[in-house]
Every structure is written in C-alpha cells, then in structure tokens.
Structure 1
Amino acid sequence: MEHIRQAFNQFAQYYDTQREYIIPEMRQFYGTAVWAAESGNPEPDVLDIGAGTGLMSACLLEKFPQAHLTLVDIAENMLEMAQQRFAGRENTRYVVSDYSAGELGGPYDIACSALSIHHLAPEEKRLLFKRVFVCLKPGGMFVNADQADGETLYFRGRYLEYWNEFLRSGPMTESQHAEILKRRDELDRNEKLSDQLAWLREAGFSDVDVVYRNRTFIVTVARKE
C-alpha cells in the first residue's frame, strides 16, 4: 500500500478538481450512492473507507447533516484536504491508516467508500468486506461506489474504450491525460462485479445488490440483517 499512499499524497491538492473529467456521470454516480445509504438513526455513525478529500462524506452530509463521521485513509495529504473541507465541523474524526489491515472501529450505521477499494488485491477486498460486516450495527448498510472489470475480455475492452473516449472529450491537457492513464494502469486492480457481489454475500450480508452501473463504474449496496 505504500506506493498507493505516495501516489495519492502527490496529487491530493487537485484531486477534486479533476473528478468530473475522469468519472463519467459523476453526479449520478455519487448521487446513487447517497440514495442507497439508509439509516434508522437521523444522526448515523458513518465510516468513510479510503475517504480521501472527503467528497463521499460531503455528499452523505446532504442526506444526514448531523452524521458522526469517521474518515479513514492511508494518504495523510488527502485527509488534510478533508480537514479543510470540514473545518470547524464537530463529530468528524480523521484516521490515517491502511484500512486493508488496520482496525475499522465501530459499530457504525453506515460504511461507505468511493473509488478506493479497487486498489486492493482480490483477497484484500474479500477480507475487507468481512471486516466491514463485523464493524456494522445490525441493520447497517455498506455502500461501495467503485470500479469493476467487465465480465469477459470483450466487455472489458468495450468499457475501457468508453472510458478513454470520455477522458479525451474533456478539458484536460495532454500531460494530465497521460498522467491519469499512467495512474490507472499502475494502481487500478478491478474485479468483476459478479465476484464482488459474491464476496459481499460470503461476508454475511443479507441483502446485496447493484444499484448503479455505467460500464466500469458501479455502486453496490449490502445490508447487515
């Protein structure tokens, strides 16, 4: 995970400004994740896994303005940006940690993650899903807005073509575009959606579904009964 920490520390300051030019349908992607998050508690305890600059938490606060937030990320520079975003906000905690192995704390009403877990190796993802299940309260929800590989090589290629065309259509410079492709090739470790859903069920979640998919970009939701 050290190479991931270093990479994200390097571009923390401009991470948010590039999001809409990297993620197709970004607002719908994040909006669906917020829609999927449910809690019977109007002031839910929320764990943001791989929180980065706090973008996912900020979106969730539109639905749960009184939430108690715990933001966990391995890159301290990214969390510094989150601290600036939420400066002066109470009930907000920041934890610099390798969430693939570190303690998650809890119990939480909601665990969420956005565009982070796909950096882990397959077995790390599988074990993380089990650890997330344990850290949730009964009735707790796990919402993961992330990336998934195509189910076959054919669709993997089609999805990449779609994504590449979207990147080319945006306002980024040629050097910025090249940096994003380099980062994608070096850091992304996407799994098939079918595998991710199976791992969630294996972890013990009773209700598991995919509520959004735009080629590579997915939102899965899982409920602890």
Structure 2
Amino acid sequence: MGVIRSGMDVEKEKELIARQFNRFADEYDRVAVVQQRMAHRILETLDEQGAEPQNILEIGCGTGYLTQLLGEKYPDAKFTIIDIAEKMMELTKRRANESLDVRFVVGDVENESWEPESFDLIASNAMVHWLARPDSTLCQLSSALKPGGGFVASTFGPDTLGELDQVYQNLGLNEEYSTQRRYYFQPPEEWYRMMKMADLEGDYVVCWHRIHYPDSNSLMNAIQRMGADYIHPEEEQLYGQSQLVRAVIQEQYNRIYRTREGGVYATYQSVYAYGRKGLPT
C-alpha cells in the first residue's frame, strides 16, 4: 500500500513486498474493500472514455479482481497480466475466465521489456504506488502503448490513513511510524505531471472512502494483510519494541475515532488517473 522508499536496496525491498503479499494472498480480498471499489471506478472511467481495447496489459493484478472485471467487459481482448507475487498470480489464474486469451507473467514490471506499441490499454488497480521509479516506468509503459492507446490507474493519495497519522503525532511517534514515512503516497498532481512527461494526456479524479472496523486492532490487521506492514531490516529494532507501542496507539485510536455503532473508522484517499498516448504528428 505504499511506495518503495528512497535510499534503500530496491531489489531487497521488492523481495520483502512480494513476500508480504504471498503471505496474506488468501486473506487479501477479505480486507481489500477500497481496492475493490477502485477497480469498479476504473471500469467506469473506461466507459466514460469509450475504450474498446483489443490488447490489454494489466500491471499488478493482485488476486485478479480487476482482471475478472476487465475480462467480463472485454471478453474478446488479448490480455497480458503481471504481478510480482507468485501466490497472487495463482489466485488470478483461478479467477480469470478460462475462455480468455491470457498470458500470465510473474515478475517485476519495472524490470520487464515490452514490445513498442503493442497494447492499446494499460490498466492498474492499487499498484502504481509501489513503483520504485514511477516516472521512468510510466515512460516505459507509454512506449508500449499504441498511439491513441489508454492508460488508467488507481492509487492511494497522501491523505490515506490520516487518522492513524494524527494518533502518531499525538503520541510523538510521527518520525518513526508516520504513514507518509513508511508508505509515501504521491499527490495526484505528481501523477499528472509524470503522465505528461510520459506523453499521456489526461486527467485525474480524487475520492475519499471512510471504512469502518470493529476496532483499531482490526484496522491494523487489515493494513498488514493489504501488504503494507512488511518490516525492512533497518526497522527490526523498532518493531522488536512495537507491541507495547501498538497497544498505546490502539487505545488512543479507539478513543478518538470511535463511531456511534461502537467501532472505529479510517479514511482512504483514492486517485484515479487516465491518460491517452498522443498520436504521431
């Protein structure tokens, strides 16, 4: 749920991310409420744009929720599906309609080479915030689009989990634990700038989702199962002491963000970006 942080070993970081997604692959759909909403919004965007793609690349397929929706919408299209986590890909294979023309790739999209102008749609749901080099990767993906082809992606914005950040700040823990330190989310204007640099003319839409949980422990478990709570080696000492800290965080969160029904809530900011590759002049 967060971008790879600068100054760290990128390949090691990606191994940890893949390991986390593999670990909780079977539980992901149970907690990925916002991601599922985002997938449906991607289809609405494609409807608004009148897209009728024949060759589709989906990056970061996860459990195949968007794959299934795209397959139902474009049953005659050819699909290339890539994800870094092998167990996620196994779930996607089970979910995808057997009649679809699909090539499954387990790998890192940032290390893949794509044939120039080979796709007329590239789609991604709740994945691009994990990219280590989003600017150059968008340029690489744009080169794989046919002229006039579309790029559509959903991601999380910097206001995501703002309540949790406020608790960290209240407790003086924002330097060690803050959402923006651990899962740096690009602002929508930055995605727009990077799309422009990649010759993708389009726009973005921002939405907020308030999700309810029985308590803050359920929220933190959900965050972990969405892939966000992997531990980098440089944080092991911090996490060795984190059980007591977590209890303090949860107590304050339960007190401040309690709902009338007795649970708690968390806010997620979603960003939907759509761009079309320019036609040759």
Q: Same fold (TM over 0.5)?
A: yes
| Aligned mate of 2:146, from 137, 140, 153 | 137
User: d(CA) in 1 for partners of 2:163 and 2:152?
Assistant: 25
Change (3 A) 1:198 1:78: same
Change (3 A) 1:99 1:187: farther
Change (3 A) 1:39 1:109: farther
Q: Secondary structure at the match of 2:28?
A: helix
Change (3 A) 1:57 1:186: farther
Change (3 A) 1:203 1:30: same
Give the counterpart letter for 2:26 in structure 1: Q
For the pair 1:83 / 2:84, whether they are aligned, the reply is: no
| Aligned mate of 1:110, from 99, 116, 121 | 121
- The Cα RMSD (Å) is 2.6
Q: Which residue number in structure 2 is paired with residue 216 of structure 1?
A: 269
Q: Secondary structure at the match of 2:203?
A: strand
User: d(CA) in 2 for partners of 1:185 and 1:4?
Assistant: 17
For the pair 1:201 / 2:211, whether they are aligned, the reply is: no
Deviation at 1:74, TM superposition (A): 0.8
Q: Which residue number in structure 2 is paired with residue 33 of structure 1?
A: 42
Q: Which residue number in structure 1 is paired with residue 131 of structure 2?
A: 120
Q: Deviations over 1:104-162 (max 9, x none)?
A: 446111101111111123xx01111101110011111100111122xxxxxx4xx4236
Deviation at 1:200, TM superposition (A): 0.5
Correspondence list, 1:13-52, <5 A: 13-20=26-33, 23=34, 26-27=36-37, 29-37=38-46, 38=49, 41=52, 44-52=54-62
Q: Which residue number in structure 2 is paired with residue 192 of structure 1?
A: 187
Q: TM-score, normalised by structure 2?
A: 0.62
CA contact (8 A) 2:71 2:100 kept: no
Q: TM-score, normalised by structure 1?
A: 0.76
Larger Rg: 2
Q: Secondary structure at the match of 1:89?
A: coil
User: d(CA) in 1 for partners of 2:207 and 2:73?
Assistant: 22
Q: Which residue number in structure 1 is paired with residue 70 of structure 2?
A: 60
Change (3 A) 1:39 1:133: farther
Q: Secondary structure at the match of 2:140?
A: helix
Q: Structure 2 unaligned segments of length 5 or more: list them.
A: 1-13, 166-176, 209-267
Change (3 A) 1:58 1:204: same
User: d(CA) in 2 for partners of 1:163 and 1:95?
Assistant: 35
Deviation at 1:89, TM superposition (A): 2.9
Q: Structure 1 unaligned segments of length 5 or more: list them.
A: 150-155, 165-181
**Mean Cα deviation higher: 79-88 or 29-38:** 29-38
Give the counterpart letter for 1:202 in structure 2: M
Change (3 A) 1:112 1:55: same
Percent of aligned pairs with the same amino acid: 26
CA contact (8 A) 2:25 2:87 kept: yes
* Count of equivalent residues: 192
Change (3 A) 1:39 1:96: farther
CA contact (8 A) 1:50 1:116 kept: yes
Give the counterpart letter for 1:125 in structure 2: P
